[in-house]
């Protein structure tokens, strides 16, 4: 008896469909962070100039960190430089924030920072008032942005947006 109700329901559903009209199925939109973000304020906070002097066997990272809307973050926001441990395949890796083991700097009023005398290697920047409230600086792919530091070079990451409001 139950199967007859099921078959009858299917027949009613098929009969009620219009075969001449294609189904109106909309694809799921691909999220794009770029279109959802308001333009950066003008003028932008300048990246530290002149570039810092560093030892030939060390590197540096400089840049500006602002909120998602492009405004400076509140006072006391820190940048934690966390090592990125790449898997031997090079396809992926991990980073772990251990605050007692990593360099930490505080953003200035315009969001600028300088991390100097950094050992060459791969790093992820973590931003927040405390390690528990911090978020990674993300790349265009939505994953943590991995920054390669080379000896004698200063990496200028430009202006990066972070979203600390959810924490």
* Tens digits of residue pLDDT in 128-155: 999 999 999 999 899 999 999 999 999 9
Q: How many residues does the chain have?
A: 167
pLDDT in tens, 78-120: 999 999 999 999 889 999 999 999 999 999 999 999 999 999 9
- Is 36-162 in CATH node 3.40.1410.10? no
Place of tokens 């993300």: 138
Q: Which of 157, 66, 155, 77 is nearest to 116 (CA)?
A: 155
- Does the pTM of the predicted model rise above 0.75? no
Under DSSP, the state recorded for 19 is T
Q: Which of 66, 31, 27 is nearest to 142 (CA)?
A: 31
pLDDT in tens, 23-52: 444 444 444 333 344 444 455 555 555 667
Place of tokens 């799921």: 28
* Cα R_g (the chain), whole angstroms: 25
Map out the domains of the chain as residue ranges: 36-162
């Amino acid at each position: 008896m139950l199967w007859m109700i099921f078959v009858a329901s299917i027949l009613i559903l098929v009969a009620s469909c219009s075969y001449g009209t294609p189904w109106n199925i909309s694809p799921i939109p691909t999220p794009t962070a770029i279109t959802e973000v308001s333009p950066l304020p003008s003028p932008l906070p300048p990246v530290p100039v002149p570039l810092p002097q560093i030892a030939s066997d060390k590197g540096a990272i400089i840049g500006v960190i602002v909120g998602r809307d492009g405004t400076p973050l509140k006072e006391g926001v820190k940048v934690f430089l966390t090592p990125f441990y790449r898997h031997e395949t090079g396809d992926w890796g991990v980073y772990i924030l251990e605050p007692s083991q990593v360099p930490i700097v505080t953003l200035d009023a315009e969001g600028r920072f300088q991390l100097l005398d950094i050992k060459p290697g791969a790093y992820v920047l973590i931003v927040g008032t405390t390690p528990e409230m911090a978020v990674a600086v993300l790349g265009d792919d939505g994953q943590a942005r991995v920054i390669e530091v080379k000896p004698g070079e200063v990496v200028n990451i430009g202006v990066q947006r972070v979203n600390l409001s959810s924490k």
